[in-house]
Homo-oligomer: A and B are copies of this chain.
Amino acid sequence: MLMNTFGHVFRVTTWGESHGKAVGCVIDGCPAGLRIDEKFIQAEMDRRKPGGEFSSKRKEQDKVEILSGVLEGITIGTPISMLIWNTDVDSGPYEALKTIPRPGHADWTYLAKFGIRDWRGGGRASARETAARVAAGAVAKLILRKYNVRVFGYAREIAGIRFNVGDPEKAFEIAERSPIRCPDPQKESEAEELIKKAMAEGDSVGGVVELIARNVPAGLGEPVFGKISAYFAYALMGIPSVKGFEIGRGFEVSKLKGSENNDPIVLKDGKIRFATNNSGGILGGITNGEDIVMRIAVKPTPSISKKQKSVDYEKMEEVEISVKGRHDPCIVPRIVPVAEAMVSMVLVDCMLLQGLIPRSFVGRS
C-alpha cells in the first residue's frame, strides 16, 4: 500500500515507463482456481488502447502476456505477472524538452523528488502506466463477476457539457458505443465539437467521469481510517489527471439540510433498504448495499501544442515551448476503463478482507 503497490490482500504492483521496453504488473493475493478469460482481459485492454479520432495516435496492440501464476488457464494462488511490450515508441519529440519541464506535467516534480527524470514521453508519470492497471483490473472484474458485482463507468461531463443519465447500466451500454464514452446521445455531438475545436486550437478539454458499483454487499470497508470511501478516493485520485473525487451527492451536500440529505430507511421486499441514495451507498465508510456512486474530476490534458511558458533548468532561463508528440485532446474517455479497474481492485480487496471471497475457488461453484 505504498509507492507502486496497491491493495492489502489483493495487491497489485505496476512497473514500466512510457518509452521503456514494456509496462507490466504483478498481482499477488489473487485467489486460486479462477479461470483467466484472456479474451476478456484483452477486451478491457482494447477499451483503454490509444487510437481513434479523439485520442493519441500512438499505435499499441497492448497485448498482455501472462508469465506466471496461471496453469492451464486457471490461477494457482501465486503471483500473476503480466507484461505488455511497448512497441510504438517515438522519443524524438521529447529531445527538445530534455531540460525543460512541461507545464501541467510531473517533469519538474519527479526531478525535485529523484534528482533525475526519464524525459522520454513522461516516463513513469505517463498515462501509459495505466495499461498495467487495466490488466490487473480485468482480473479483479473476473472475480467480481462470480458475485454478480458490476462496475460501470462513463463520461458524465466533457468540456463543460453535463450529460444526462438514467439507469447506470443503460448509461454504460450507450457510452460504450460512443467514441467519447458519452451516455447521453442528445449531447454527444455538442461535446465532440468542443473537443474538435480544442484540437484545432492546439488545446485540450477536461471533464467528469462517473463510476457506479452495483450489487456490492453491505459491510465492506473498515472503521475510521480505512473507510471504503477513503479507499476509493485513494484509488481514483491516484489516476493521472484526476483533481477531485466525490461520492453520492458529493459537493452538493454543502448546500443541503440534514433532512434533505439523510436517506430514509425503509423495508423493501422484507429487507432493510434506503428510500433514496444521497449517500452513494456508503455510510460511516461502510457499504450499505445500495449502488455505490462516485465521480472524479479530470483535468484537460496538459500536453498541448499551444505556446506555453517554461524554464530550461540547465540554462536557468525562461522559454516558450509547444508540446509535440501524440496526445489525447480529452483524456476522459480513456480514463473510464482505468477508473473501473481501480474501483474493481478496491472491491475485491475489501471483499477478501471481509472474508467474502475465499483464497481458493477450487471445489466451489
Question: Which residue on chain B has the smallest CB distance to residue A66?
Answer: B21
Copy number of this protein in the oligomer?
Answer: 4
Q: Are A77 and B355 in contact (CB under 8 A)?
A: no
Q: Are A118 and B13 in contact (CB under 8 A)?
A: no
In the complex, A28 has a CB within 8 A of chain B: yes
Question: Which residue on chain B has the smallest CB distance to residue A74?
Answer: B116
Given known contacts A224-B238, A257-B300, A298-B254, is B103 in contact with A263 (CB within 8 Å)?
Answer: yes
Point out the residues of chain B lying under 8 angstroms from A137, CB to CB.
none
Count of A interface residues, CB-CB < 8 Å: 154
Q: Are B223 and A227 in contact (CB under 8 A)?
A: no
Q: Are A33 and B255 in contact (CB under 8 A)?
A: no
In the complex, A149 has a CB within 8 A of chain B: no
Q: Are A299 and B261 in contact (CB under 8 A)?
A: yes
Point out the residues of chain B lying under 8 angstroms from A157, CB to CB.
254
**Chain B proximity mask over A202-242: 1 for CB below 8 Å, otherwise 0:** 01111110000000001111111111011111110110101
Given A2-B226, A160-B255, output 19 extra A-B contacts at Cβ < 8 Å: A2-B11, A4-B28, A4-B225, A5-B225, A13-B79, A22-B67, A24-B67, A76-B118, A103-B263, A104-B258, A105-B284, A159-B255, A203-B259, A237-B245, A243-B246, A254-B298, A258-B303, A259-B306, A275-B309
In the complex, A287 has a CB within 8 A of chain B: yes
